[in-house]
Structure formats: structure tokens, C-alpha cells
Amino acid sequence: MPFETALTKALDLRVPVLAAPLGRGSSAEFLAAVAGSGSFGFTALAHMPEDAVSGELAKMQRATNGRFGANLTLVVDQRKRLAAALDAGVRVFSVWQGDIEPYVRLIKDAHGLVFWTVGTPAEAARAKDLGVDFIVSQGREAGGHFVGSAPTMSLLPAIVDAAKGVPVVAAGGIAEGRGLVAAMALGACGVWMGTRFVASKESANHRGYKERVVAARATDLVETEIFDPVGQECPHWVIRNSTYSRWEDAGCPPNGQRPGEGEQISRFPNGKPLYRYNAAAAWDAMEGDWEASPLYASAAVELIHDLKSVAEIVAEIEATAEAALDKAAQLRTGR
């Protein structure tokens, strides 16, 4: 079915779907598959060492013909990563947490587009004055780290009302076309999806992590702050794993007193040790105890029952959206 929204127009998309950054899961191959499906994906710069950003982005540029965006988590200084991304030709950015204003200014000076992930209507009300192009309204169901102050479908219309005309993308617990139609009915111009794309054949997440997402139900999820550096804690949803269970069994002690702290569970590709409680999710080539790393997932696991290619996922979104619209038309006409 054809879609035409502010999002599809701005990014020249066939479907108004954005793939959230998946840590190391957003590889060049994955982003190319997303671009080829008519949607658009983001990669997380925070998961790249500063000296590796240029090389990693060059691979993604070649694979996608430049059709991808970069995400900046602003709990730490990201100016070097932003400069490297701009030098690499990236012109679509998502930002969240921290002070976004200086980053928005630099991106807009380079004629880029800015997506700002917010969790309250008060933040959304500032977006237009800051020069933000799109707001991402992130509900509390979102997988991984979240800033949402309310459930997705309650927060979204409030964000739309506060946005002063800035187009809004819905995020949090959405996995197929019925969620897209519901979000658009509440004023969104598209959706932002992460967990559904973790469980794709092309994502560079660990096979075991993907299988856990497919097998999980909402009752397997826990909200915690343990998979974060000290001083940068942010709530996140994960599938219960051995690290969380050990911490829970120990009485949920604070940072510095958690069981297994300082224990190496693997190594990053550059050889740097990966310790228990690190925020990095398991990637495809990860060796060691991959299950001990955070298995980020949203309430969308209730709708994910198999591993599919990105093309199949996007086709399913289109098919379920069309079916939902047909159903709504029948209800309206009483047929």
C-alpha cells in the first residue's frame, strides 16, 4: 500500500518505518537491507570507539549509498563523533538525553536533519525553537534504554499536541502494521522500531540473542538500570538473564557491590575487555558468555514469533497495516 507522510517525503521512503540503532547489530549489511526495503535505519555512534567512527561509517555509506542515519547519546561529549560523521557525509542524525542544542546547531549548519527522542510533552514543546526536524515520541514500552514518561499510545497524542507542528514518529512496543496504523491515527507520521529488527536475519546481533527475543513474552522482561556505567544510569528493559538473576538473588545491591562486577565475559572487536554489566548487547561474533550481556527488548516481543529477513518484516508491516485499514473501513461502514 502507498504511504505518503512527512517522514516518507523527507527521507524518500516507501514505508514510514525507521529502524532504531541496535548497538553493534546495526552493521553495514543490516542498514543496507533496511534501505533496500524502502525504510531507513540508524547506527549508534556511542558503540564505536572515536578513532573507528570514520572507517565504520565509510563501510555503511558504501553499503547503503548514504541512506542511513547516526544516533548520538548525549550523556557524554559526542562532538568528536559528530564531527567524524559529518566528515563522512552523514546528514541524518537522531539525538537524545543531555543537552541537544549545540549538536542540533552543528547538524543544521551542515544542512542535516535532526530527530530528537523525547519522553514528555514539555520537551516536545521546545523542539521547534531548537530547530529539530522530527520528534520521536518514546513510550515506556521501548526496548533498551528509554526516556518515556507514559505508555506509547497515551504519550503519543500528548506529544503531537505539544509539538507545534513538528512531525512526530512513534516509538515503543511497535512491531507490525497494526501499530503503525494506530500511531498514525493518533497523529504520528511514522514509527521507530527496534526489537522487531533485532530478530531479523541481517542484524549483526548474536544468534542466541535473536532466539531469546523470538522466544520471550512480556512476562520475561524486567525494567532495570544495572547495564549502564556508574553515574549514567538510565532505565532500560531487558530479557531476564543470568546477570540480572544473580544481581536479584543478591538483593539488588547498588553499583560497586553487584555480584560479578569486574568479571570479564568477552572482548570487544578491538581487543578491549568486556565486563559484566557493560551496556553492550551481544553481537554476532561475540565469544565467551554472550548471554550475560544485556538482552534489550520491548513489549513488542508479544508480536514476534519468528526470525525473518528485513524485507519480510517490512512486507509484513505493509500487509498488516493494509488489513488493519480494511478492518477499520468495514467497522465504519458497518459491513
How many secondary structure helices (H) and strands (E) does the chain include?
Answer: 13, 13
In DSSP terms, 307 is beta-bridged to none
Is-above-0.85 flag for pTM?
Answer: yes
Q: Which residues contact 321 (CB under 8 A, 6 or more apart)?
A: 1, 176, 177, 178, 180, 181
What tens digit of pLDDT does each residue of 166-198 get? 999 999 999 999 999 999 999 999 999 999 999
Confidence of residue 333 (pLDDT cuts 50, 70, 90): confident
Report the alpha-carbon distance of residue 282 to residue 291 in Å, rounded.
Answer: 7
Cross-strand partners of 92: 113
> In Å, how far from its chain's centre is CA 124?
18
pLDDT, one tens digit per residue, over 239-272 is 999 999 999 999 999 999 999 999 999 999 889 9
Q: Is pLDDT of 296 > 60?
A: yes
Residue-level pLDDT at 335: 61
pLDDT beyond 70 at 1: no
Using alpha carbons, list the distances in angstroms from residue 330 to 33, 43, 176, 187. 35, 40, 20, 21
DSSP 272-306: -EEETT-SPPPBTT--S-GGGS--B--GGGGG--S
Average pLDDT for 71-91: 96
Ordered domains of the chain (ranges, CATH): 6-203+309-332 (3.20.20.70), 207-300 (no CATH)
Nearest to 187 by CA among 137, 133, 150, 116: 137
DSSP single-letter state for residue 254 = P
